Structure 1
């Protein structure tokens, strides 16, 4: 993609002289409908919602080892490390919830439960940070692959990594900044947080594909979403619902196995057993392997669709794909 002109923003493209029609008395014939050009996973024209979802699925099917394999590794690392972080606090927490309040003073019981809960929640927060880092990496990596998939180009892991590696630190900074801005919006009121989340939802593909800075990526996302906020919101919500349903379907058998392993006990100490957490982690790995790259691919294709609608990028992509445009 370093040699592909189609991903550069309009500000990066040189001004090209307008071609004047040849003189004559006859008006040009009316434009004929052109067939859709589809060198890769999507037709190179403004997309419908179904085409965006289908394009994300097609990308995962076309590059299963690159996408599913990488997602499985990232999900396994984050889930396993998160589980290992939580386990040291699990024994203290289960011991605290198992204590009979009648055998100790109320102050001791509350203090022991609070200390154990704080430690467990701290481990959970650290697990969440690890999951965020894994999601950031996977989103940028998948963005590179989708960029090739749109043009129908072959790509290897080494090639995708070489293209993504220089953007990793900037993407991490942009993701942390975006998370902070959205969190502030949510604290003041949920609606501003949602609005900001959608407005800056295209920062990752803009930063990775256009190879721009963090501030420029935020500006590009805002410019592309502006005027199409509700459509962007609807597509992202649809992808979230699809991912949530897939996660629920995958996690349900592991949840039932965990409950069966504990004899469907209502005892909190039993419910927080290491075995149930391990089964939950396995279900999370499988679910994340599918849902994370799907959501990332949908976001990239929303970005591509917005650029084709707002900036006429379909012409540039057709040229990059070797079709010379319409």
Structure 2
């Protein structure tokens, strides 16, 4: 992928002739142009230059394509995910340590030995510190997730066509989109949270409707508002299918996280003497073990879920905008 808007939406202008030394855009050869639904010369064939066949995908092919992308680019994806997960989790742990006593005091409140006034006073004193630590930790995880999802989006864009890509190249392509993506993620999180607070159903509906904001913003290089519009347009008419794939991805990610975190949770329980005291789970040793488990789990699940989202976006464009034809042309020209 280059700086030419090869992933541009059909609404964006794409009828300019390529400049000297540039690759033509999708659906455009030197001196010749084609529309999105106009077949190129020669017979149509389903080709697979990269991690997916260039045709509308099944749910299984989307999941398999995500795993194949991680296996084909392990250093770029798993390595970056491990670094991001380690940095965010470790800093998050360090941020929460000053508030650990407050949190321990909050979970150790005994209603049998304290009056309601004492419990309320203790809870009021500890609440600001607990919420402050949780907010800072959540913010760090959000920033790390935004970076990783955008960065992986660029890699999957190359992986679809089987193109080699380096970390420097992926970073240069993603860097201009980092701040817009952070803003879009904060906005979508706010909208989805408000919808969930009003009722669970609107929150879920909004979550699915705006699930494709990240790939639209990064690959199409559009603005925040346009990315929301593109996601809504692509999901329209396929809400339930998109919901099913995203839900399946959540279940797979949860199972992987549970399997990975279980040994560290058991080790933490052993280190505290298998006590039922909830305060014991907040000991430094137990928290360190749980942090290690969270790092390993996030290293696997974050790239997987991000890649699935990008491939859902590609699938929706192939189904609704005929992009499989454009991708086949791009593969025939050796890239975007």
When the two structures are superposed, what TM-score results if normalisation uses the length of structure 1? 0.90
| Larger-gyration structure (1/2) | 1
1:74-129 per-residue CA deviation (whole Å, 9 max, x = no partner) reads 11111111111111111233356557778877634542243224412321122111
The corresponding residue for 1:295 is 305
Equivalent of 1:145 in 141, 155, 178? 155
The corresponding residue for 1:40 is 50
Corresponding position: 1:246 with 2:256 = yes
CA distance in 2, matches of 1:76, 1:287: 11
CA distance in 1, matches of 2:136, 2:277: 26
Alpha-carbon distance change, 318 to 248 in structure 1, aligned in 2, over 3 angstroms: same
Two-structure CA RMSD over aligned residues (Å): 2.1
**Does structure 2 conserve the Cα–Cα contact (< 8 Å) formed by 1:4 and 1:320?**
no
The runs of at least 4 consecutive aligned structure 1 residues that moved more than 6 Å come to 99-105
Corresponding position: 1:2 with 2:2 = yes
**Does structure 1 conserve the Cα–Cα contact (< 8 Å) formed by 2:181 and 2:224?**
yes
Matches within 5 A, 1:52-131: 52-95=62-105, 107-131=117-141
Alpha-carbon distance change, 259 to 317 in structure 1, aligned in 2, over 3 angstroms: same
Equivalent of 1:217 in 214, 227, 235? 227
Equivalent of 1:134 in 139, 144, 151? 144
The corresponding residue for 2:24 is none
SS in 2 for 1:237: helix
**Does structure 2 conserve the Cα–Cα contact (< 8 Å) formed by 1:5 and 1:316?**
no
CA distance in 2, matches of 1:237, 1:76: 26
CA distance in 2, matches of 1:246, 1:57: 13
TM-aligned CA deviation for residue 188 of structure 1: 1.1
TM-aligned CA deviation for residue 132 of structure 1: 1.1
When the two structures are superposed, what TM-score results if normalisation uses the length of structure 2? 0.87
Q: Which consecutive residues of structure 1, in runs of 5 or more, have no partner in the other structure?
A: 19-30
CA distance in 1, matches of 2:296, 2:205: 31
SS in 2 for 1:7: coil
Alpha-carbon distance change, 4 to 58 in structure 1, aligned in 2, over 3 angstroms: farther
TM-aligned CA deviation for residue 5 of structure 1: 5.6
